[in-house]
Structure 1
Amino acid sequence: MLNDKSILITGGTGSFGKAFVRTVLQRYPDIKRLVIFSRDELKQFEMAQEFPESKYKGIRYFIGDVRDEARLRRALEGIDVVVHAAALKQVPAAEYNPFECIKTNVLGAQNLIEACLDSNVHRVVALSTDKAAAPINLYGATKLCSDKLFVAANNIKGHRDIRFSVVRYGNVMGSRGSVIPFFLERRATGVLPITDEAMTRFNISLQEGVDMVLWSLEHAWGGEVLVPKIPSYRVVDVAEAVGPECERPIIGVRPGEKIHEEMITASDSFNTVDIGKYYAILPMSGAYTLQQYCADMGGKAVPPGFSYDSGTNEHFLSVPDLRQLIKDHVDPNHSI
């Protein structure tokens, strides 16, 4: 699929970007070019120690910011496939610095869309978040806006051979700033702060996220928001898995934080289909119908009023499940 292709990933030095690059280099040895586009020169330098240009002939490191459309256009020369992972994603920081978040997550998304339309790009997949469904915080609102921009970009592509799609998933196990590495770091203090005892979250591994993006690059029609069927966990169970001997004071929910995360709302149900491993929220207006999509993908429409949230999910990870996943994906030294 990607052999002999040129790929650019924005936010390429983040947790997802590193996992994506590692997977692509392993699975597609004949890739033409793989451009890591990000704004942090130190992270690019550090990433280049693992993936040096001297060893991987097609890899390139391109310093730039999605806020800079001219720089994006330069970086996209000769690119066939784009994965958009760049974002400001820390909820408290977004609440305190709202327009900085908007400039990257919304204006940056539109800059990328415009630049892709004016280049010879054929496939674009943007990463979203569960916080974009019925958002209550600024970060979620910016990602919902970004999702809408990428979906609507298909309406203005004209005769270009380009498809824009979105993948939306929950918390990535072990990603920077997430609860599991935070608890692992705080375990030595003997205190693991809990925001709310009822809090739940979706869970997906980095590799599952990468595989979903690769699947969407090959199979997505354009305009859909793809959602994986993944398990949930209770934050108190994560604390038990990481530090069963630790104290767990309740510190209260932070600004802009939900008790349970949603990925598909009841309002989305009327244009959502079940395609097996994933759900697809289809565009309300576009070049194809729900029936056509189901026929081609072997899917079926979900019931009216269907919703998908971490609190009512059918699949929950147990404490032993979490402990094993942490050992496998986050804590390779098996210190828990």
Structure 2
Amino acid sequence: MDWKNQVVLVTGGTGSFGKKFTKILLEEKQPKKVIIFSRDELKQHEMQVGGFNDPRLRYFIGDVRDRERLVRAMHGVDIVVHAAALKQVPACEYNPMEAIKTNIMGTANVVEAALDAGVKKVLTVSTDKAVSPANLYGATKLAAEKLTIQSNAYAGGSATRFSCVRYGNVVGSRGSVVPLFLKQRSGGKITITDDRMTRFWLSLDQGVRFVIDCIEQMEGGEVFVPKIPSTKVVDLARAIAPDAEINIIGIRPGEKLHEMLISEDEARHTIELERMFVVQPAEATWFGYSWKDKGSELKEGYYYSSDNNMEWLDIEGIKKYIAPFEELFLQGKLEG
């Protein structure tokens, strides 16, 4: 895929993912233009003065809840990466209508605006919490996935194609547990909800590069899932603060012991490749099912969860992931 003539729009472009995605894309793929679409003028200003002032960058203030603004922003756009979301589980539980308006209706607006503007590819960024969701955030992301994938039916004979990526916790991203543990370390105590808890982990760099790879390969209709390691949350705490006391405070509402990236039901129409899984739509007249020739089908009864993973990070492995954030924390530059 030749990126040099592509105009790319990123919703939620001032977030952790959006900034990293923009940096790597500009440096390595040299697109024609990258549009940062977000609702916070301060974060856009901080992004600009923080070094994101490339002449190929454009900053659009707008909210995914505003379909008309999205249509305007997508004029002449080839690729949309939809990363805007309310993602804090407690905030979504306390403000359910706001989560639905942004994560579900916002995704619907992105889909419709992309269709109206003739965008070629739309990739929605999702989460393991969308699989068998236990909280409203997960439920809204499940709906966002379904909206994205099934909207290929609306595309008909047009050029627009829709796919998703779904992955686990991003180490050190805004709102993640790593900045929290680093802050708690100075007090000598770290709080964990349950010492049995496991999570999928990947670095921000891995997540961004996976998204770029999926844009290049997508045909429309896939949910792409990377093969990533699991870790025990208690091991993460020990890697960050080996001398701290660990307090078990109990699972919060909507929290799971283990996360899942592919359910047993989804596995029946999933193809495994060397570095990822491709979840195909169960039945769709618009999908070509050509991925079956590129990989292998999964065994009956398979599911991909953070506690049955074949790849694990031990404490030393975790330290390598968190080392860059240790440095930023010590410099006072780590975003919480």
What TM-score, normalized by structure 2, do the two folds share?
0.95
- Secondary structure of residue in 2 paired with 1:128: strand
CA distance in 1, matches of 2:74, 2:160: 14
CA distance in 2, matches of 1:79, 1:315: 38
CA distance in 2, matches of 1:160, 1:307: 35
Deviations 1:110-134 (A, max 9, x none): 0010000000210110000000000
Partner of 2:334: none
Partner of 2:8: 7
Q: Report the CA distance between 1:293 and its aligned residue.
A: 2.1
CA distance in 1, matches of 2:169, 2:52: 29
Q: Which amino acid aligns with 1:23?
A: I
CA distance in 2, matches of 1:311, 1:330: 25
Mapped pair 1:332 → 2:333: no
Partner of 2:188: 190
Partner of 1:24: 25
CA distance in 1, matches of 2:302, 2:52: 47
- Which of 285, 310, 313 is 2:309 aligned to? 313
Between 165-174 and 56-65, report the one with greater CA deviation: 56-65
- Which of 264, 267, 270 is 1:266 aligned to? 264
Deviations 1:207-235 (A, max 9, x none): 11111111111101111111000000111
Note if contact 2:130-2:142 (Cα within 8 Å) is conserved in structure 1.
Answer: yes
Mapped pair 1:47 → 2:42: no
Q: Which amino acid aligns with 2:50?
A: E
Q: Report the CA distance between 1:52 and its aligned residue.
A: 4.4
CA distance in 2, matches of 1:9, 1:96: 27
Q: Which amino acid aligns with 1:255?
A: P
Q: Which runs of 5+ in 2 are unaligned?
A: 331-336
Mapped pair 1:109 → 2:104: no
Partner of 2:200: 202
After superposition, residues 1-336 of structure 1 pair within 5 angstroms as 1-29=2-30, 31-53=31-53, 56-286=54-284, 287-288=286-287, 290=289, 292-295=290-293, 298-327=294-323, 329-332=324-327
Note if contact 2:220-2:287 (Cα within 8 Å) is conserved in structure 1.
Answer: no
Q: Indicate how the Cα distance of structure 1 residues 179 and 118 shifts in structure 2: closer, same or farther if over 3 A, else same.
A: same
Q: Which amino acid aligns with 1:288?
A: F
CA distance in 2, matches of 1:333, 1:73: 38
Note if contact 2:182-2:329 (Cα within 8 Å) is conserved in structure 1.
Answer: no
Q: Report the CA distance between 1:333 and its aligned residue.
A: 5.7
Q: Report the CA distance between 1:22 and its aligned residue.
A: 0.5
Note if contact 1:34-1:59 (Cα within 8 Å) is conserved in structure 2.
Answer: yes
CA distance in 2, matches of 1:232, 1:274: 18
CA distance in 2, matches of 1:115, 1:333: 38
Deviations 1:152-204 (A, max 9, x none): 01111011112100000000010111111110111111110010000000001
Q: Indicate how the Cα distance of structure 1 residues 189 and 264 shifts in structure 2: closer, same or farther if over 3 A, else same.
A: same
CA distance in 2, matches of 1:184, 1:152: 41
Note if contact 1:67-1:111 (Cα within 8 Å) is conserved in structure 2.
Answer: yes
The Cα RMSD (Å) is 1.2
- Secondary structure of residue in 1 paired with 2:147: helix
- Secondary structure of residue in 2 paired with 1:79: coil
Q: Which runs of 5+ in 1 are unaligned?
A: none
Q: Which amino acid aligns with 2:34?
A: L
CA distance in 2, matches of 1:52, 1:288: 38
CA distance in 2, matches of 1:100, 1:240: 36
CA distance in 2, matches of 1:234, 1:182: 16
Q: How many residues align?
A: 328
- Secondary structure of residue in 2 paired with 1:248: strand
Q: Which amino acid aligns with 1:109?
A: T
Q: Which amino acid aligns with 1:190?
A: G
